[in-house]
Structure 1
Amino acid sequence: MPAKPVKTRITDMLGIEKPIIQAAMGWIARSQLSSAVSNAGGMGIIETSSGELDAIREEIKKMKALTDKPFGVNVAQAFVRDPNIIPFIIDQGIKFVTTSAGDPMKYTATLKEAGLTVFHVVPSLAGALRAIEAGVDGLIVEGGEGGGFKNAKDVASMVLIPQVCEAVSVPVVAAGGITDGRSMAAAFSLGAEGVLMGTRILSCAESPVHANWKDAIIGADATDTVFLNRAGPGPALRALRTERTSRLEKDGSPNIFGEFAGTQDVYFGGNLEAGIALTGQVAGRIKEVKPVAQIFEETLEEYHRIVAALPR
């Protein structure tokens, strides 16, 4: 029997069955994975941070063939190479966009004028207030324990999510440390109305990444990630602890982007020492590779159990 639904402003606004959004992981968040997320009742997101817009156009076509459920596209502004990316997204008929890694003032008005719903990813209260000023429809509030590119002045989800929720009226999606119903219940108690999963979906059965990366996540402790490049130049990031990233943690790098030259070998070749495998601390709580639909059903079932068992 399917888990009891969880209805929030997020599910109503986005037209999804479950208040779960998938992280927009470069090269990974494409039709194979994102359609599985949408078909399981969540919000699948297609990435553009790879800069491969011709490939992304084909992935969007594949998405439309693989699912009749809602899906969106992410614009990671720091990685945008093509100034026509916004007209490109509008022309694809996309209705939901997440923007990140940049100023929300840059694209929000244009996207909203075209009738799209826009959520901006923020790592701080100041960033949230800037996004509200830009006119976004919602926020993805990302704690520093999450994987990927981060604010060097990181704030944990337990502090950041309620801080933002107390200051804004738009719906908030919690990101960073979310992997199951227990963490979803915690996020909702802090004021969120949806959650974003990155590392949990990265390690799911439908994820296209190499089994070596998934196995490393399954075998990881919560201390088996590193926070790199806090002092710059370039962005900070959280990644899986390997010999390479442990060395970078100690010695730093003059060019953090140069460390991603071996990305394809890491992601799809399984050589975790060839570059950087972006991974969140929540890897320490993930113990099994499962299909997305099973992850989502178990998340909602556990959410209801946890909420019902809370002291009155």
Structure 2
Amino acid sequence: MFRNRITELTGAEVPILQAPMGYISRAQLASAVANAGAIGMIETSSGDLDAVREEIRKMPTLAPDRPFAVNIAQAFVRDPSIVDFVVEQGVRFVTTSAGDPNRYTAQLKAAGLTVFHVVPTLRAALKAVDAGVDGLVVEGAEGGGFKNPRDVSTMVLLPLVASRVEVPIIAAGGIIDGATMAAAFALGAEGVQMGTRMVASAESPIHDNWKQAIVGAAETDTVLLNRHQAPAVRVLRTEVSERYEFDTDRNAMEAMARHMDLYFGGDLGAGLAFSGQVAGRIDAVRPVADVIAECAHDCLEVIHELGHRYPLDAHPVG
């Protein structure tokens, strides 16, 4: 169905990458994505590296002969031996984020891994390319989770970066279906990353209360917090997050003191529920395989339809 640099580099059938989300992007979810033909991802942003190592070990059993990826979130990984472990487990594709692309790129590439770096700006993209990465995950500010406080949307950032680099790009932020995937391709991407859509999937391990909060959200029901602190985060609009929306003195991450009660206990008052603006377009919790199959089919259908609707020879230039 798809053949481009992303599928060739990763071995995936469908160039859809599941986002690395702390405590969520573990083997249960990542294996479902991989078995559906896309790219499952194991997170490290939880900082719980003993558990992460065990999740990586599970993947060959849960998704045999299927490619998967690991994200190394540098701001949260304190033990550099995670790189050696990833290499030893036979992982072939890694994304790095939340830090300097020079830190691990050479070591990972020397071990034969494909390395993409997550970037929120053109400046960061050019730095990553100079560091020798194989590709980029270009992340617009409408996506959920950790963000650049100087937010720029995917519609602006993606074509800007694509115009300045030659490496393949995976687009993130605002991607939910075939139409948005096709739009990302039109803007210069060869793959897409989905986060919020995967959070609200049947295989996501988080409590159903969080999933239903996404399903019930309007397109305006996320907030970007910590513009004047670090890290900036996009989260669902709740009583907790609204207390920090215009607060320039406190760090909103202090609200995550009981985050496990949110993730697995379903208490939306116990933390910040990370989510992108696409929550406003999600109307049901669905199996990962259905989401990926529909997205892939509809993307190709949209591209085909546009080619027929606007044939080049019907609109001569000059």
Query: How does the TM-score come out when normalised to structure 2?
Result: 0.94
Q: Give the Å deviation of 1:128.
A: 0.3
Partner Cα separation in structure 2 for residue 251 and residue 51 of structure 1: 27
Matches of 1:204 and 1:27 in 2, distance apart?
15
The partner residue of 1:97 within 86, 94, 97 is 94
2:240 is aligned to 244
- The CA RMSD measured in Å over matched residues stands at 1.0
Work out the CA distance in 1 between the residues paired with 2:10 and 2:199. Answer: 22
Cα distance per residue 1:53-95 (max 9 Å; x no partner): 1111211121111012001110111111213221222222211
3-state SS, counterpart of residue 251 of structure 1: coil
User: Measured at CA, do residues 254 and 52 of structure 1 come closer, stay the same or move farther in structure 2, by a change above 3 Å?
Assistant: same
Change in 2 beyond 3 A, CA 1:60/1:187: same
For structure 2, list consecutive stretches of 5 or more residues without a partner in the other structure. 311-318
In the TM superposition, 1:3-18 aligns within 5 A as 5-18=1-14
Kindly provide the CA deviation profile for residues 108-149 of structure 1, in whole angstroms up to 9, marking residues without a partner as x. 011101111000000000000000000000100000000000
Q: Could you tell me the percent identity over the aligned residues? A: 60
Q: Deviations over 1:223-249 (max 9, x none)?
A: 0000000011x1111000001101110
Give the counterpart of 1:257 among 237, 253, 262.
Answer: 253
SS in 1 for 2:299: helix
Deviation at 1:269, TM superposition (A): 0.8
CA distance in 2, matches of 1:113, 1:235: 31
Q: What are the residue-to-residue correspondences of 1:216-295 with 2, within 5 Å?
A: 216-232=213-229, 234-252=230-248, 254-295=250-291
> Which amino acid in structure 1 is aligned with residue 283 of structure 2?
K
**1:166 aligned partner:** 163
Q: Which runs of 5+ in 1 are unaligned?
A: none
The amino acid across from 1:47 in the alignment is E
The residue correspondences of 1:22-61 to structure 2 (distance < 5 A) are 22-61=18-57
Partner residue of 1:300? 296
Once the two structures are TM-superposed, the CA of residue 252 in structure 1 deviates from its matched residue by: 4.3
Which of 190, 193, 196 is matched with 2:193 structurally?
A: 196
Query: What's the counterpart of residue 133 of structure 2?
Result: 136
1:81 has 2:86 as partner: no
Structure 2 distance, partners of 1:138, 1:189, is 17
Aligned residues: 307
Aligned counterparts of 1:94 and 1:62: Cα–Cα separation in 2:
12
**Cα shift readout 1:3-36 (whole Å, capped 9, x = no counterpart):** xx12211011100000100000001100000000
Choose 301-310 or 89-98, whichever is displaced more.
Answer: 301-310
SS at match of 2:301: helix
Residue 309 (1) aligns with residue 309 (2):
no
Asked whether the equivalents of residues 228 and 252 of structure 1 are also in contact (C-alpha less than 8 Å), the reply is no
Aligned partners of 2:240 and 2:255 also within 8 Å: no
Indicate the SS of the match to 2:270: coil
